[in-house]
Amino acid sequence: MSNLRRVVAHLASFLQFFLLFGLLTGCQSGSEPGSEDLNGHSLTDRVIVIDGLGRELSFTSPPSRIVSIAPSATEILVAAGGLDRLVGVTNVDDYPPEIAGLPVFSALPLDIESVAAMDPDLVMASDQVNDPNHVELFTALGIPIFYQEAGSWAGIRSALLDVSMILGTEDVARKTVDSLDARISALKQMTSSAEPVTGIFLVSDVTSYSFGQGSYALDLMEWAGITPLTREFDTPAPVLSDEWVLMANPDVIIGTFGDGFTIEDLLEHHPAWSSLDAVRLGRVYAVDGDSILRPGPRNVLAVEQMARLVFPEYFTTERTDR
């Protein structure tokens, strides 16, 4: 922060006081974070967690009214065993189905006022989509906010465990995480013996949005046995040119192309791609959007779906557990 800004800030606080007749002193006291420490709880029944922004949060009792301000945060919260404590979700939340009927509020721009009116004792956010600056306002409102780390599978995994610590549901979450870990290592083992396959992921069949370095989606592809060629881009969200794709000539193209997709849809927007190996051999696959685009436990489903499409020979018997 520059000296100029500091001087301005000093002047500012004076003027603020002057303008508002001391209103601030009236409404900010008592909403300091951590004031619940005075409830007489001993230090031992306190849960301390670090969130995705590196903030330390401390809880003396498990929260009972939770509002989630991001669909991915909802999914991780539910996987951690928090479904019955959810009291509100965004208007774009659609998973799991059990959340249907919960009160909703506008996600973008975030309707903080409606969130506050739901009287939550914890707000769940994602460090990928929610504004870190909301911390200040929620703190002023006396509502703890936890930003789940959702930029990598390791982050998602530890967010799930941290959330369960806050909720006091470690047993449920531990089981969930163990089962996810087991499914991932089974898939990794299965695909490690397979012939190497190169691939690209496209978010749409119209504009070639893809994933680059630093995106968890590339890890998911690798676990499914696909070497992502877009790892050479040093941004997590590159837009691929048709010519780059032609030169890269991936073995497979995977995308969130929607229901009823056919290779002809792709060629309509990218006619030159008819010469690609993936197109000629029919190795263009549509996968479910939310399970890969939304960071969370369902990412493992996306890995399974990709592996099953690319290596059908390894999946002779249908799995029954989703």
β-strand partners of 88: 67
Q: Using DSSP, state whether 257 is helix, strand or coil.
A: coil
From 19-27, 66-74, 168-176, 305-313, give the range in contact with other proteins by CB under 8 A: 19-27
Q: What backbone torsions phi and psi does residue 194 show, to the nearest 5 degrees?
A: -80, 160
In this chain, which stretch among 103-111, 154-162, 186-194, 273-281 interacts with other proteins, using CB under 8 A? Answer: 103-111
Judged by CB under 8 A, the stretch of 99-107, 193-201, 247-255, 302-310 that binds other proteins is 99-107
**Which residue in 61, 185, 207, 235 binds other proteins (CB under 8 A)?**
235
Per rule CB under 8 A, is residue 175 in the interface with other proteins? no
**Does 231 interact with other proteins (rule: CB under 8 A)?**
no
Nearer to other proteins, 12 or 182 (CB): 12
- Kindly give, in sequence order, each residue whose CB lies less than 8 Å from that of residue 10, ignoring residues fewer than 6 positions away: none
3-state secondary structure of 136: helix
DSSP string for 39-62: GS--GGG-EEEE-TTS-EEEESS-
Taking the least distance from each CB to other proteins, the nearer of 114 and 169 is 114
- Cα separation, 117 vs 17, in Å, equals 28
The yes or no reply on residue 55 touching other proteins (CB under 8 A) is: no
Q: CA 66 to CA 51: how far, in whole Å?
A: 16
C-alpha to C-alpha distance for 287 and 255, rounded to whole angstroms:
6
Q: Does 110 participate in binding other proteins (rule CB under 8 A)? A: yes
Taking the complex as a whole, the smallest distance from the CB of residue 93 to other proteins amounts, in Å, to 13
How buried is residue 254: exposed, middle or buried, by Cβ count under 10 Å (0-12/13-18/19+)?
Answer: buried
For position 172 contacting other proteins by CB under 8 A, the verdict is no
Residue 134 interacting with other proteins (CB under 8 A):
yes
Judged by CB under 8 A, the number of residues near other proteins is 56
Residues in contact with other proteins by the rule CB under 8 A:
1-2, 4-5, 8-9, 11-13, 15-16, 19, 21-31, 35, 91, 104-106, 108-114, 116-117, 119, 127-129, 131-134, 136-137, 140-142, 214, 234-237, 239
